[in-house]
Amino acid sequence: MQRPESFPLQGLIVSCQAPISSPLHHPSVIVAMAKAALNQGATAVRIDTPAHIQAVREQTDAPIIGLWKRQFPDCEIYITPQFDQALELAQAGADWIAIDATNRPRPGGETLHILIDQIHRQLNKPVFADVDTLESANLAFDAGADLLATTLYGYTPSTRHLTPPGYNLLEQLVQQFSCPIVCEGGISSPEMAQKALDLGAIAVVVGTDITGIDQKVKSYQQILSTPKSVRYAE
C-alpha cells in the first residue's frame, strides 16, 4: 500500500451524479459540479457513466473514481456489474474503478474474483470496492480489492434495515483490513464527515448532501405541507 500521506484519495471526495431523469444528468452539468468541488478543495470526484467521466477528464487531472450504474434483468447488482463496463470507464479516463463488491450474482455469471483480476491485469487500474457488510468486505479483500468503502451499507437485502452512514461497519473495516477504508453513503454534514475521518476513514465520499438537488428538494417536499391559509400581519 502507498504511504498514507501520498495516497491520492484523502479527506473529502464529492460524488457528482444525477438521476437519469434529471436535467442535471448532462455532461456539462456534471463537469461544472466536479470543477466547483475540486476548486473548493475536494481531493477527488466520483462520476457515473463513461460519457460523464470523459467530459470531466477533459477538464481536470484530479483523481476520478468511475462507476457505471447499469441495470440487468434479474440482477440486484447495478454498480459496474461486469468487466465490459469497467473497460469503458477506464477508456473514458477513470483512475479508479468502483464496483459492487458484494458476492451477489452478476450478469453473465462473472465472479467478483475474476472481475477484480481482469481490472488489475487488463486495465491496470485499482479497484474501489463498494461493500455492505464485513462478510462482503472479507471476500472483496481476499479477491484483491485495493480499497474498501461502506457505500452499500443500507442498500442490500441484508442491510436494508440499517441507515447509512455505516459507522459501525467503518470501524470494523478500519480494525480488520490493511487497505484504505472510505466512508461513503448518508453523510449529510461536515460534522458527520469529520466523525468518519476520526473513526479512521482515509476519505469520505459525499453525494446527495452536496450535489443531489433532486433528492434534496424531494425530501423537503415530503415534509412540507401546503399551507391551509396564509396569514399576513395586520
Ligand X SMILES: CC(=O)N[C@H](C=O)[C@@H](O)[C@H](O)[C@H](O)COP(=O)(O)O
CB 177 within 8 A of CB 137: yes
Q: Which three cell numbers stand for residue 213?
A: 438537488
Q: Site for ligand X (CB under 6 A): how many residues?
A: 16
Residue 151 lies near ligand X (rule: CB under 6 A): yes
Residue 186 lies near ligand X (rule: CB under 6 A): yes
- Which residues does residue 15 pair with via DSSP β-bridges, in sequence order? 46
| Residue among 180 and 212 whose Cβ is closer to ligand X | 212
Residue 187 lies near ligand X (rule: CB under 6 A): yes
Write out the DSSP string of 201-231: -SEEEE-HHHH-HHHHHHHHHHHPPPPS---
Residue 50 lies near ligand X (rule: CB under 6 A): no
b/e sequence 69-107, b meaning 16+ C-beta within 10 Å: ebeeeeeebebbbbbebbbbbbebbbbbbbbbbbbbebe
* Half-sphere exposure in the Cβ direction for 130 (13 Å, CA): 26
| Residue among 64 and 205 whose Cβ is closer to ligand X | 205
| Residue among 219 and 232 whose Cβ is closer to ligand X | 219
Specify the residue for cell string 477533459.
58
Among 22, 118, 138, 208, binds ligand X (CB under 6 A): 208
- Segment 155 to 174, residues that bind ligand X, using CB under 6 A: 155
Binding segment (CB under 6 A) for ligand X, from list 34-42, 55-63, 88-96, 180-188: 180-188
Query: Of 127, 184, 136, which is closest to residue 156 (Cα–Cα)?
Result: 136
Least Å from the CB of residue 223 to ligand X: 18
Binding segment (CB under 6 A) for ligand X, from list 20-28, 30-38, 140-148, 199-207: 199-207
Residue 18 lies near ligand X (rule: CB under 6 A): no
Binding site for ligand X (CB under 6 A): 15, 17, 67, 151-152, 155, 184-187, 205-209, 212
